[in-house]
């Protein structure tokens, strides 16, 4: 029996109207907006949606209510926890984990779980975090446990995108005419 760990909200809940939006939710909103602009359907975990939708108002049909994937239940539970997914049709094109203050290891573990459960998936994976966390991301991504995946080391298929690079991407005047390949100009690989 495989279990999928989930992110759990803090123990104390405050009235939503007085709680400022977390930076990670704001970044998820920006990723959703970029994906929308490029013509993708977007998935955001259901627990994050109320906060994310305070900053991003997608038109009907862009934010998916369910994932149109034919995976087993364990894989679906893993995929549903990933912070942002961009989809074309029934295929995941890009997966993003936003690591603002949480342990970077948890986001990488979800990415590795996804690849371990579905080794034939050809998805571009990204960790999005502040620039000051880049070395920590690279240290974690090179852990031996992540080098033993059937598809190959996680460091070869998961890249780092800084918040500042994300902001530069958002400011592109013709973003709607670009493809997701433009992310290659903003991503950094572990060496």
pTM of the model: 0.85
5-46 pLDDT, tens digit per residue, is 555 444 333 344 444 557 889 999 999 999 999 999 999 999
Neighbour count for residue 124 (Cβ, 10 Å): 18
State residue 107's pLDDT score: 84
Strand partners for 70: none
What is the spatial distance between Cα 170 and Cα 44, in angstroms, rounded to a whole number? 19
Neighbour count for residue 182 (Cβ, 10 Å): 13
Domain ranges of the chain: 20-185
Number of residues written out for the chain: 191
Contact by Cβ (8 Å): 76, 97: no
74-120 pLDDT, tens digit per residue, is 888 888 999 999 999 888 899 999 987 667 878 888 888 888 877 77
């Amino acid at each position: 029996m495989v279990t999928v760990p989930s992110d759990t909200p803090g123990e104390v809940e405050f009235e939503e109207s007085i709680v400022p939006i977390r930076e990670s939710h704001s970044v998820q909103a920006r990723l959703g907006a970029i994906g929308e602009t490029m013509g993708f359907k977007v998935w955001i975990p259901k627990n994050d949606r109320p906060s994310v939708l305070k900053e991003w108002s997608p038109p009907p049909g862009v934010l998916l209510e369910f994932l149109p994937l034919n995976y087993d239940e364990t894989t679906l539970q893993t995929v549903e926890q990933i912070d942002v997914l961009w989809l074309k049709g029934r295929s995941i094109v890009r997966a993003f984990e936003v690591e603002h203050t949480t342990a970077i290891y948890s986001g990488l573990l979800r990415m590795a779980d996804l690849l371990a459960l579905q080794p034939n998936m050809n998805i571009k994976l990204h960790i999005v975090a502040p620039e000051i966390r880049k070395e920590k991301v690279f240290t974690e991504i090179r852990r031996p446990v992540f080098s033993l995946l059937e598809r190959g080391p996680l460091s070869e298929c998961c890249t780092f995108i800084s918040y500042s690079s994300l902001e530069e991407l958002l400011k592109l005047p013709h973003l709607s005419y670009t493809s997701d390949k433009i992310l290659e100009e903003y991503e950094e690989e572990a060496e």
